[in-house]
Each structure stands twice: as C-alpha cells, then as structure tokens.
Amino acid sequence: MLSVSISKHKKQASRKRIIMTLTLLALSAVILCGVTVLLSCPVSDTAFSPEPSPHTDKQETAAKASPSYASCAKSTPFTARISARNAVLIHADTGEILFGQNEHARAPMASTTKIMTALVALEALPVETEVKITAESVGIEGSSIYLTEGEVLTLEALLYALMLESANDAATAIAIAVSGDVQTFAERMNQKAAALGLKDTHFVNPHGLDDPEHYTTAYELAIITKEALKHPVFQRIVATQRTTIPHQGASGVRLLLNHNKLLRSYDGAVGVKTGFTKKTGRCLVSAAKRDGLSLIAVTLHAPDDWRDHTAMLDYGFSLYEPVVLATPGQFDTPLDVVGGTCEYVMIQNPDSLVLSLPKSRGEIIEIMELPRFLYAPVSVGETIGRCAYYELLPTGDMHFLGEVPLYAGHSAEALVYKKNILEKLLDLIR
C-alpha cells in the first residue's frame, strides 16, 4: 500500500510540473506577442505617458523639443541674382539661415553700425535720460542733424536722429552719454558682440565711418538686428517714417525722415537701417513680418540693394504658409471633479493658434496636457492645462511649435458636508 501511494504522489507531482511548464510557456508567448504589438504601433496624433511626471499631475507629458527645425524650410532653391557681395536672409525668431551669399565673410558695414549703437544705449540708459551735447559731438563728418554745444535732448530724441537721419553727431553724443567717450563706448559695443557669440565683428566707433578695424559679417549683423528687435522702443523707432525733435536755440523743430524706403514700398516691412560710404558701398538691413513670420535681410556692398531685399524677403515668405492649429472652442472636454457640487467641468479653449510654418515640414503632433482630475472648488476661467503642438523631425525628435491654454468652462463649488441627526446627537453626548 505504501509503494502504491508513493507512486501516485510521484505521478501527481509530474503532472503538476508539466502543467506549470505549459502555463509558463503560454505566458511567455502572450508577453512576446504583446511586445511585438507595442513595437509595431505607429506614432499617433496624440502622445500619452502611462504615469504623470513626478513634478506634475498630468495625463500626458510633452515630448522633448528639438532646438530648431534646421533647413526644413529650404525646399525651394533661391534663383534670383543678388548684387551684394555679402548677403543673408534669416528667420528672425530662430536665426536659421534661409539664404546666404558670402554671409560669413568680414566686411565694413557703414551706418548699419548704428543698430548696435542703439542696442547698447537702450540697455544702458532709460530713454527719458537728458543728454547735454558736448563739443566733441559737434561737427562730426558725414550725416548730421547739426547739434549745437550745450543743447539738451533726451536719449529717445537722439535715437530717432540716429536711426532715421543716420546722424553721426547723434551717434557720438549717445556714446559720450553712455560711456564718457567714444573709445570706451566702442569697447562696450564689442563686449555686447562677444556676449552674442559673434566672432567676426569689431567696432571702433558708434557711427560706422571707415576704419580697417571696423567690420562685421552679413550673418552677424543679422544676429545683432535680431537682438535689437527684441526691444519695443527700437521696434517703434525703426518703423517710424517721419517725426520731429526739438531744435534748441532756433525756432521750430527738426524734421526727421526715415531713409528706408522699404517701409513705404514693401508689404510687412518694419525697418531697420541704411548705410553708405565710398569704401563700403550701399549697405542695408531690413526686416518684415507677415502672418506672424518675421524675416531679417542684410546686404553689404550692394549696388541694387532695394531689389536684392525685395527678392530675398519674397523668397523667404514663399517658403512658409499660415497653418491653423487650433480654433476657439475646438476643445470641449469633460474632466472629473472630486468633492464638488458637480461631477465634472468642461475644459475649453477660447483662443486660437495660427502659425506660419514651412511648407515642407514633418507631421504635426497635438498633445493635450491635463490633470487626471480636479479638486473642488474650480473657478470658471481657471487655467487647467494646455494643448501643445510639435513638429515631428526626421531625427525622431519633436520641435515645439506653440500652445493654447485650456480653461474651466464653468465653476464647481466645493461640496459642503452636512451631519445627520444621529451624528449631531453623538456630538452632544461627547
């Protein structure tokens, strides 16, 4: 009897081992199939992360953004002939080069120097600063508004004279007001150039009169302009076609006229500066904006600079198109509320998002970022999350394009708990 019992136990144990082995094999097959399915899934229009970030309680986390989308825009070759020795066209937001011709070669830049002069002055002094004109600022060679020793003008008035009439005496007065003398101001200009990462730019004066040690490149001058256009006062000045400033010691005022004729002839033009000496030839920096897209063009030693800039800007705008990413009310999503008088609130977007994007671009990915739920109270109009848009790059990275905020469409008051009769009686006994 004992031997029979042992034999039965051995057979049962053997069956259990076989069943367990088969079960493990089946589970392995299921897991492998699942992995295969996951690996074969294509990228969808909306990305999700299984768990929220440790820093946020959001259902979806934004993908890593690439710093730029490189040369995606340049799908169409530039065929126009450019008269300039040095030329460049850049995207004013990213700094991407859309067209270049000897854009990294050093060259003199005449009065386009004054873009840096204005930038340094705006970062150094308030525009209301009163500047007393010294003898060193009077009678400077070249363009002038004929300042007189002892008269007092605001920095803002001198900046208008600098950028509209290209006044060399105004440039000198600004330099002395900021740094005490021209040489020290030029050193400050070079410090700013170094801070911008420029390695082929050097200044010896604030006005751009010829000097062998005074030079830049078309590209680096575009980067200086990109930085200057971040200042609202600079934007306003270079976009002004005509204005007046005081003329102390004489009746009337000084009339200042902007010599950048693109402001009158080119759709979307916003500035910025002309320049000329016999050595440098005609120099021009221009900027234009259409449908949210800003471009900066630079030409140095360009006999036909107006035509050059028109051709370059036209080319740049032809590479882009307005794209509607979100319309007002596009999103109307319920989101659960805990401890509220209502179970959920509707999440909505009252804003639109329209961007100028390259006609040649990758897939656009839309990612809605919202918490898993809300705790009451929730106020109407409260910012709850965002919908972010990315461009999928050939590298697999995603470049951030823009976002629209998501708000609570209505409020949810906190639920007030009321004790029942039994709980009230227990409170009295205690």
CA–CA gap between residue 316 and residue 355 (Å, rounded): 15
The dihedrals phi and psi of 355, each to the nearest 5 degrees, come to -125, 150
**pLDDT exceeds cutoff 50 at 243:** yes
- Burial classification of residue 29, based on how many CB atoms lie within 10 Å of its CB (0-12 exposed, 13-18 middle, 19 or more buried): exposed
Query: What does the alpha-carbon distance between residue 299 and residue 275 come to, in Å, rounded to a whole number?
Result: 10
Give all strands (DSSP E) within 67-218, no chain letters: 86-91, 97-101, 130-132, 152-154
Mean pLDDT along residues 164-191: 98
Give residue 421's pLDDT band: very low, low, confident or very high (50, 70, 90): confident
Rounded to 10 deg, the angle between the 182-195 and 168-179 helix axes is 80
pLDDT of 49-65, one tens digit each? Answer: 323 333 233 333 332 22
**Residue indicated by tokens 């109407």:** 380
pLDDT in tens, 385-395: 999 999 999 99
Backbone phi and psi for residue 154, each to the nearest 5 degrees, phi listed first: -75, 160
Q: Which of 145-149, 351-355, 422-426 has the lowest mean pLDDT?
A: 422-426
pLDDT tens sequence across 358-383: 999 999 999 999 999 999 999 999 99
Give the pLDDT mean for 166-174: 98
What local confidence, expressed as pLDDT, does residue 218 receive? 98
Strand partners, 246: 253
Task: Output the pLDDT for position 74.
Answer: 58
Per DSSP, 270 falls in state: E
Average pLDDT, the chain: 85
pLDDT of residue 73: 56
The stretch 337-344 carries a mean pLDDT of 93
**Nearest residue to 371 (alpha-carbon basis) of 63, 55, 44:** 55
Q: Which residue is it, tokens 């905020």?
A: 405
* Cα→Cα distances 152→130, 136, 245, 375, Å: 6, 14, 11, 61
Among 39-48, 71-80, 192-201, 290-299, where is mean pLDDT lowest?
A: 39-48
Q: In the prediction, which pLDDT does 249 show?
A: 65
d(CA 422, CA 152): 85
Contact between residue 273 and residue 110 where contact means Cβ atoms under 8 Å apart: no
Q: How far apart are CA 107 and CA 31, in angstroms?
A: 66
CATH class, domain 42-75+321-430, is: mainly beta
Mean of pLDDT values over 314-332: 95
- pTM of model > 0.85: no
Which pLDDT score, from 0 to 100, does residue 119 have?
98
pLDDT single digits (tens) 263-322: 999 999 999 999 999 999 999 999 999 998 999 999 999 999 999 999 999 999 999 999
Residue 429 banded pLDDT, cuts 50, 70, 90: confident
CA distance 215 to 193: 12
Question: Which residues lie below 8 Å from residue 399, measured CB to CB, with a gap of 6+?
Answer: 65, 66, 67, 68, 69, 390, 391, 393
* Token code pair at residue 168: 């060399």
pLDDT surpassing 70 at residue 164 = yes
Least confident of 11-20, 186-195, 345-354, 385-394: 11-20
* Mean of pLDDT values over 192-200: 98
- Higher pLDDT, residue 98 or 16: 98
Residue 44 above 60 pLDDT? no
pLDDT score of 109: 98
Any idea where the domains of the chain sit in the sequence?
A: 42-75+321-430, 86-318
Q: 3.40.710.10, 3.20.20.30, 2.40.50.140, 3.30.830.10: which CATH number matches 86-318?
A: 3.40.710.10
Burial class (CB in 10 A: 0-12, 13-18, 19+), 38: exposed
Listed in sequence order, the residues at least 6 apart from 207 whose beta carbon sits closer than 8 Å to its beta carbon are 111, 113, 114, 117, 140, 142, 168, 171, 172
Helix extents (H) in 214-323: 218-228, 232-238, 262-265, 305-318
Mean pLDDT of 135-153: 95
Q: How many CA atoms lie within 13 A of 349 on its CB side?
A: 20
Is the confidence at residue 10, as pLDDT, over 80? Answer: no
More confident of the two residues 209 and 28: 209
Both structure tokens of 290: 């259409």
**Separation CA 247–CA 256 (nearest Å):** 11
Pairing, β 242-246 against β 253-257: antiparallel
Higher pLDDT pick, 353 / 43: 353
pLDDT at position 75 is: 62
Q: What is the pLDDT of residue 8?
A: 40
Query: What tokens does 213 get?
Result: 């040690």
Active site residues: 111, 114, 166
Give the DSSP letter of residue 368. Answer: E
Q: Do domains 42-75+321-430 and 86-318 have the same CATH topology?
A: no
pLDDT at residue number 425: 76
Which amino acid belongs to residue 393?
Answer: L
Give the angle subtended at the CA of 77 by the CAs of 75 and 80, to the nearest 5°. Answer: 150
